Amino acid sequence: MTTVIRAVLWDFGGVLTSSPFDAFRRYEEANGLPSDFLRRLNAVNPDTNAWSLFERGLIEVEVFAARFAEEASLAGGVVDARDLLSSLSGEVRPAMVEAVRRCHDRLKTGLLTNNFMIGHATVDFGSILDHFDVVIESSRVGVRKPEPRFYETACVALGIEPDEAVFLDDLGVNLKPARNMGMQTIKVVEPAAALDELEEIVGFPLR
C-alpha cells in the first residue's frame, strides 16, 4: 500500500532561491580563483572543516573567517571569508514560493536549511516563512544536512514518519540520507521540472 504524503520539505538556497554556487562562481571570477575552488575546498574534511562547524553554529564568525582563510591558503588560494559571506544572497524563485504556499494550504511544510548564525541572527527569510509549519536551521539545531539527525529533527517537529514526506534539495548528497530514511526525494536542477515531479507526487496543481 502506498503511504500518503502528509508533508513537503524544502531546502532554501538552490531551491527557493537561486543556487549559492552561483555566488561562489561570481566570487571566484572576481578574485582570480580557479573554477569550483570553493566547492572543492568545502569537500575537504566535510564534517570538521570551517564551513561545517560554522553551519552547525559551533564557531563564531571571527573564528570561521580565520580558519576558512587558512584552509583556502593551504589549498593555494586567498579568500576573504567575510566578503564571501556577504555575497551569498540569492534571488527568490516566485514559482517555488507559490508552490510552497499551495502545499501549505493542504499539507504540512518544513524548511530545512544549512545556514549561518552571524551576530546571533540567522538569515532573513522574510514573508516566505509564513508558508512553513517548522523551520529547521543547522546553525540553531547544531546538526546539518546530510546528517540523518537533521532530517529526524524535522520529522519529529512535524509529527510525521519519513515515508510520509517528500523532500526537495539541489544537492544529491543531501537527498541520499532522506531517501534512505524512506522519504521521496526530488533533486532540483530545473525548477519547472522539479515542480512537475512534485505535482505528480502530491496530486494537485502548484502553479
User: Into how many domains does the chain fold?
Assistant: 2
Residue 207: inside a domain, yes or no?
Answer: no
Are residues 192 and 113 both part of a single domain? yes
pLDDT at 1: 55
Strand partners, 118: 121
pLDDT at residue 127 greater than cutoff 60: yes
Long-range contacts of 64-72 (CB under 8 A, 24+ apart): 64/116, 71/41, 71/44, 72/37, 72/41
pLDDT digits (tens, 9 = 90+) for 24-46: 999 999 999 999 999 999 999 99
Angle between helices 94-106 and 191-202 in degrees, nearest 10: 10
Please provide the distance, in angstroms rounded to a whole number, between the alpha carbons at the two ends of the chain.
Answer: 29
Asked whether residue 100 falls in the same domain as residue 188, the answer is yes
- 149 falls within a domain: yes
Alpha helices in the chain (DSSP H): 20-30, 37-43, 50-55, 61-74, 81-86, 94-106, 138-141, 148-158, 172-181, 191-202
Domain boundary among 69, 86, 103: 86
C-alpha dihedral over 27, 16, 151, 149, to 10 degrees?
A: 20
Of 117-121, 139-143, 158-162, 203-207, the one with minimum mean pLDDT is 117-121
Beta-ladder partners of 134: 110
pLDDT at 122: 47
- Over residues 48-75, the mean pLDDT reads 96
- Give the model's confidence band at 121: pLDDT under 50 very low, under 70 low, under 90 confident, else very high: very low
Same-domain check for residues 149 and 73? no
Q: Identify the pLDDT of residue 125.
A: 65
Calculate the dihedral angle through the C-alpha atoms of 35, 39, 43, 44, rounding to the nearest 10 degrees: 60
CA distances from 178 to 112, 118, 149, 182, 185 (A): 12, 28, 10, 7, 7
Domain range holding 45?
A: 20-86
pLDDT grade for 120, boundaries at 50, 70 and 90: very low
161: left (phi over 0), alpha (psi -120 to 50) or beta: beta
For residue 29, give the C-alpha cell.
571570477
Q: Are 101 and 131 contacting, i.e. CB atoms less than 8 angstroms apart?
A: yes
Query: 82: helix, coil or strand?
Result: helix
> Rounded to the nearest 10 degrees, what angle do helices 172-181 and 148-158 cross at?
60
**Mind listing the pLDDT tens digit for each residue in 139-182?**
999 999 999 999 999 999 999 999 999 999 999 999 999 999 99
> How much of the chain exceeds pLDDT 90, in percent?
87
User: What is the CATH number for 154?
Assistant: 3.40.50.1000
Question: What pLDDT sits at residue 128?
Answer: 87
Same domain? 101 vs 71: no
